[in-house]
Amino acid sequence: MKTMKPYSFLFIIMIAAGLAGCTKNFEDINKDPNAITSEQASARYFITVPQYKLYAPDNYPYWRAQLIHADRFAGYFTFGDNYSWWSDELSYSYHLSYTDATWDFYEGYFGQLDNFMKLTAPGGDFENEYMYAVGLIMKGLYYQMFTETFGEIPYSEAGDPDIILPGYDTQMAIYKGIIADLNSAMTTIGSATKTGDGVNDLGNNDLYCAGDLQKWKKLANTLKLRIALRAYGAPGDDFAAAAVSQCFGAPLLSTQGDNVLMTKDNTISKWNSDSYAGAWLDFGGYGSGGGWTVSKVMIDNLRNYNDPRLTKFVKPAAGGTFTFTKPASGSDATLWPKRVTYLTNVLTVAGADFTKTGNENVDNSVTFTMPANKNFVGQPVRLNGFIKPLIRREFFCTPTDYFVVAKGATSNLYKEIVLTTAEAYFLQAEAVVRGISGATGDANQLFQEGIRQSMLMWGCAAGDITTYLTQPVASIASGTLAEKLEKLATQRWINSYTEGFEGWAVVRKLGYPAELAAGVTDADIYGLGTINGLYPERMQYGTGAYSKNGANLNAAIARQGADKMDTKLWFSKP
C-alpha cells in the first residue's frame, strides 16, 4: 500500500469534514479518516471549494462585493427606496469597510485555488496534467474579475513561496498571462474527455463542467475571446487581434448544453456559500432595509421591446395608494415640487397605469395610486437620500422569487453564471462587426443566435423568442458601427443579469447602456458620490493592500493613476 505525506492526510481530512456528503468517498473518509489510502485520495476533492467560493462566496463578500458594488455598478439593482437602509449613492461614495470586504475577498480567494494547482502540478501529490489544465482555466476566470475590479494586482509573482511581497502587474501583462495559460490548458486537454478514471475523474465534484474536458476547452477558448476583445484597442495593445483570430479556429461554447452555470448548494450555510436570499430574507424580505429594486435601465430595455426575459427577471410593481406631504421648511421643502414632478415623470415615461391627485406646485400633499401587480417600472439608479421618502418600493419592480427564495424551499435555485453560450455568440458578432482579421461568420446571424441562446437559458418560450427576433432591436444587419455595438453591448449586458462584475465591465468597455455610462449630474435628485456623478471605473484598493505590500502598491498606482473610483483602467481607455 502506498503511503502519503502527513500534510496530505491533513488536507484530505479537512476537506472531507467540510464537504461531507458530496460523494460516497467523502462519506467513507469522513467516517473513518484512518482508512484513507493513497489510492482513495484525489485532487478532485479540492476543486469544489474554490469553484463555489469564486461565484457564490459566503454572506460577507456576497453582499458587499457582489450586491452592494458589482450588481449596482452594473446597473442591475438599486437601493434608495423608502424601505432601504441606504440611499442609492452607497458605494458610489467610497465606503472603507465595504471596499475592504471586496479586496479581502479577492485577495483571500487565491490560496484555495493555488492549493489545488500545486497539488495537481508536475511533482505535486496528486499530479494530473488535465486537472492542472482545469486549474489554469479557473485561474483565468479569477484573475480576469480581480484585475477588472481594481486594475493592477499581484499576478506573476503571486503564490511564489520565495517572494513575500509580490509585485503588481500591469493589466496588459495580466491579460497576456491569462491568454498564455488558456492556450496551455487547451493544448494539454487536446482530445481528452475526462481527467482520469475512478478517483482521478473530476466528475460531479466539478461544479462547472461535471468533469467534461471538452466543455472546459470551449470555456477556455470563449474566455480567451472575451479577454482579447476586452483588450482590443487599449493603449499599446499588441496581442488582442491575433488572439481573437485564433479563437475562431477552435471550438467555442455553442449549444444550450454548453452554458457554464454553477448549481447552488441548497443546504450549505450562508456563512459558507450565500445567495441573494441571504440579504433579501434575513432582514425581513420585501419590506426590509436589506431589500432592493431592479433598475430603470434594465426594465426599460426589457419592457419597451416586449422582451420575454422581463417576467423571468422581475415581478411587476406591487402598487398601492400613498400620500406624500411637503416638508415644513428647508431645502427639502423648496425642492419637494421638483422631486414629486420627477417621480411623476418616471412613472409616466414607463407607461405606468397610475393616478395622482393634488398639484405639487400648489398643494402641500399629493396622493399616488397604482393598481397592484400590473406595472413594470424600474427605479432610476443613484438616487440621493433626500428623495428617498417619495421612492416607494411598491412603485417599482423587484426580483422574482427565483432569485431570492430561501435555500431548502425549492430545488430550483437560480444558478450562478460562469460563462454562457449567448456571450460566445455576441463576442463573435462583435469581432466580425469590428472587422478583425480572422473573425468569420454573419454578424447578424451570430447576434440573433446569441439572443436566442440567452432567452433559452433564461427559460423563455420558443414562440416568444421568435417574435422578439423580428424586431429592429434584434437586428444588426444594418446601421453604423456605433449602432451595432450598442445593440451588442446591451444584449450582453442583459444576458449577464446577476453577474454584476461582467455587466459592469461591459458598460466600461463599450459604453452601453449609455444611460449608465453617462453618470448623473443633478444633485437635487441624484447622489453624486465621491466621483462627482461620473461612472465608476474601478474600486479603490483595500486597506490591507497598503498595510501588507505598500511599496509595490504605490508603484502600481504611480503607473495606473490615482487610487480613485473614476480612474480608468487600461482596458477601458480609448
Residues contacting 285, CB < 8 A, separation 6+: 291, 404
Residue 40 has pLDDT above 90, yes or no: no
pTM for this predicted structure: 0.93
Is there a contact between 431 and 439 (Cβ–Cβ < 8 Å)?
A: yes
Question: CA-CA distance, 13 to 478, in Å (whole number)?
Answer: 60
Helix intervals (H) in 44-90: 48-55, 59-61, 71-73
Residue 66 has pLDDT above 50, yes or no: yes
Q: Residue 277's pLDDT is what?
A: 85
Q: Which three cell numbers stand for residue 204?
A: 460531479
Task: Round the average pLDDT of the chain to a whole number and report it.
Answer: 93
Is there a contact between 72 and 91 (Cβ–Cβ < 8 Å)?
A: yes
Q: Residue 16's pLDDT is what?
A: 41
Q: Residue 36's pLDDT is what?
A: 52
Neighbours of 373 (CB within 10 A): 10
pLDDT tens, residue by residue, 432-491: 999 999 999 999 999 999 999 999 999 999 999 999 999 999 999 999 999 999 999 999
Give DSSP secondary structure letters for 145-165. HHHHHHSSEE-TTTT-TT-SS
Neighbours of 72 (CB within 10 A): 25
Q: How confident is the model at residue 27 (pLDDT cuts 50, 70, 90)?
A: very low
Residues contacting 329, CB < 8 A, separation 6+: none
46 φ, ψ to 5°? -110, 0
Q: Considering only CA atoms, which of 390, 381, 375 is closest in space to residue 343?
A: 390
Is there a contact between 384 and 89 (Cβ–Cβ < 8 Å)?
A: yes
Q: Residue 38's pLDDT is what?
A: 67
Residue 324 has pLDDT above 60, yes or no: yes
- Strand-pair partners of 294: 77
325 exposed, middle or buried (CB, 10 Å; 0-12, 13-18, 19+)?
exposed
Question: CA-CA distance, 405 to 285, in Å (whole number)?
Answer: 10
Give DSSP secondary structure letters for 83-115. T-SS-TTBTTB--HHHHHHHHHHHHHHHHHHHH
Residue 7 has pLDDT above 50, yes or no: no
Q: Considering only CA atoms, which of 384, 352, 488 is closest in space to residue 433?
A: 488
Residue 262's H or E segment, with its range, is strand 260-262
Give the residue carrying C-alpha cell 481607455.
573
Q: What Rg do the C-alpha atoms of the chain give, in angstroms?
A: 25
Please tell me whether the peptide bond between 308 and the residue prior to it is cis, using omega within 30 degrees of 0.
no
Cα 213 versus chain centre, distance: 24
pLDDT tens, residue by residue, 198-243: 999 999 999 999 999 999 999 999 999 999 999 999 999 999 999 9
Q: How confident is the model at residue 20 (pLDDT cuts 50, 70, 90)?
A: very low
Question: CA-CA distance, 417 to 261, in Å (whole number)?
Answer: 5
Given CA atoms 34, 38, 41, 46 in this order, what sign does their dihedral have? positive
335 exposed, middle or buried (CB, 10 Å; 0-12, 13-18, 19+)?
middle
User: What percent of the chain has a predicted confidence (pLDDT) above 90?
Assistant: 86
Give DSSP secondary structure letters for 185-231. HHHHHTT--SS-SGGG--GGG-TTTTT-HHHHHHHHHHHHHHHHHHH
- Total residue length of the chain: 574
